[in-house]
Amino acid sequence: MTTLSREEVEAIALLARLHLERDEAERMQAELGAIVDYFGALAGVACDGVEPMTHAVPAAVPLRADEPEPSLAVADVLRGAPAVRDDLFVVPAIIPGGD
């Protein structure tokens, strides 16, 4: 059985920007280990020279004319935001000491 260390679980959670409570992290550690084990079935499959399939439809990147089109009204978009000032989204200070 693959064991994920507590440190690994915490490192993944940080990469994913997820805060996990202590009991959640413990449960996640056990469950992810079992699932990753299950993924082990993939390891034994011979895939040399097999192209990875990134999409169901082999489509070239479609291009369109570079012409402006109407988009959503700013007020409509901001209505769903948790904090807004002067038509902008408000977030906590990124630079220490900033506002």
Partner 1 sequence: MARGVLDIARGVAAGETTATAEVDACYARIAARDGELGAYLAVDADAARAAAAAVDRARAAGQPLGPLAGVPISIKDNIVTRGLATTAGSKMLAGWIPPYDAHAVARLRAAGAIVVGKTNCDEFGMGSSTETSAFHPTRNPWDATRVPGGSSGGSAAAVAADLCAGSLGTDTGGSIRQPAALCGVVGIKPTYGRVSRYGAIAYASSLDQIGPLARSVADAAALLEVIAGRDPRDATSLAADVPDLADAARATDVRGLRVGLPREYFAELDPHCRGALDAAIAALRDAGATAVDVSLPHTHLAIPAYYVIAPAEASSNLARYDGVRYGVRADARDLLELYTRTRAGFGTEVKRRIMLGTYALRSGYYDAFYKKAQQVRTLIARDFEAAWASCDLLLAPTTPGPAWRFGERATPLDMYRADIYTLSCNLAGLPGASVPCGLTSQRLPIGAQLIGQPLDEPTVIRAAAAVEARVGFRGLA
Residue 39 binds partner 1 (CB under 8 A):
yes
Residue 9, number of CB atoms within 10 A of its CB: 20
Closest approach of partner 1 to the CB of residue 68, in Å: 14
Size of the site for partner 1 (CB under 8 A): 52
At residue 56, φ and ψ (nearest 5 deg) are -70, -25
Q: How many CA atoms lie within 13 A of 98 on its CB side?
A: 7
Does 77 engage in binding with partner 1 (CB under 8 A)?
Answer: yes
For the chain, the helix, strand and coil percentages under 3-state DSSP, each to the nearest 5:
35, 5, 60
Cα 60 off chain centre by: 25
- For partner 1, the binding residues in 45-74 under the rule CB under 8 A are 45, 47, 50-57, 59, 61-62, 64, 72-73
Binding site for partner 1 (CB under 8 A): 9, 12-21, 24, 28, 31-32, 34-36, 38-43, 45, 47, 50-57, 59, 61-62, 64, 72-73, 76-77, 79-83, 89, 91-94
